[in-house]
Amino acid sequence: MDVLTITDLTKQYRHFTALAVLTMHVPQGAIYGLVGQNGAGKTTLIRQVCGLQTPSGGTVTLFGIDHREPGIVQARQRIGAVVETPSVYLDMTAAANLRQQYQILGLPADETIPALLQTVGLADTGKKKVKHFSLGMRQRLGIAIALVGGPDFLILDEPANGLDPQGIIEIRELILKLNREQQITFLISSHILDELARLATHYGFIDHGRMVREVSTAELQKAFKKRTVVTVNDTRILARVLTEKQMAFEITDAHHAAVFDVPEVTAFVMALAAAGCTVQRLTEVDESLESYYINLVGGGQHA
């Protein structure tokens, strides 16, 4: 079952198209990483899902309810979101911020506040005002506010943006904990791809308002090509030997090439030496999420 299904979503601002017939699926229980450069349409997409903007075309379906149906109001009550920056009252304590959110939602502020603060690691903040919190603490408070009402689906827009390494680790552990222990589904927009790779179970790669590809982590791992970067005195000889052996390769310049699936290093080097090609260095490289994304959308515009 999909928590979120988007079909042919379009958002037009006069002469600018922010989203163009975009389709995506967020499965129940997933941590879905939305990947794209600044201006790709990530925040615009999130705003459509949260009901902060109206689509120009297409459909947004939450928990099986189309955004044009009356039941979408109740469906959106099952989501929580932190869009761009957490909305917090700086001159109030963490507990007071949560109490205010309960009042906004028309819910009784009961004994769940201490439990929420415990969940996000803010139980010991006491009377400390939010203006004295670190960025990481404010981000965790924003997530606590989004958890008011017990949502099944959390949407986080750049949750690690501006955080120091410790703050990033804390947010990561919190997301994994909520997903594992409370079965909360996540949609996370982030440009910190190495960090996203530690979290996500599914990915959507968006570029210029279009969904380029959706893929699960398992599928992505299969797509990653483990390669050996070979430094030689003459890539022309290298290319001839590799072609004869029917090995996949990519020449990068006069002295370097990426060779995929080297079967056995000693035999490989000896075969090149016999052909008059001197191997100066061999380096094994595993493809990263960042390199996969750049190759997917085209490296030139992201250089």
Provide CB contacts within 8 A for 178, sequence distance 6+. 119, 147, 154, 184, 186
Query: Where do you find CATH 3.30.70.790 in the chain?
Result: 225-286
User: For the segment 35-62, what is each residue's pLDDT rounded down to a tens digit?
Assistant: 988 889 999 999 999 999 999 999 999 9
pLDDT the model gives residue 302: 43
Please state the φ and ψ torsions of residue 7, each to the nearest 5 degrees.
-130, 120
What's the CA gap between 156 and 171, in Å, rounded? 11
pLDDT over threshold 90, residue 300: no
User: For the segment 64-100, what is each residue's pLDDT rounded down to a tens digit?
Assistant: 999 999 999 999 999 999 987 788 999 999 999 999 9
Provide CB contacts within 8 A for 146, sequence distance 6+. 80, 81, 82, 154, 156
Maximum Cα–Cα distance for the chain, whole Å?
80
Q: What kind of architecture, by CATH, is found in domain 225-286?
A: 2-Layer Sandwich (3.30)
User: For the segment 101-122, what is each residue's pLDDT rounded down to a tens digit?
Assistant: 999 888 887 778 999 999 999 9
Query: Is there a contact between 102 and 86 (Cβ–Cβ < 8 Å)?
Result: no
Query: Where do you find CATH 3.40.50.300 in the chain?
Result: 2-222
Q: Which CATH class is domain 2-222?
A: alpha beta
The mean of the pLDDT values for the chain is 90
**How many other CB atoms are found less than 10 A from the CB of residue 143?**
24
User: For the segment 244-268, what is each residue's pLDDT rounded down to a tens digit?
Assistant: 888 888 888 889 988 877 768 888 8
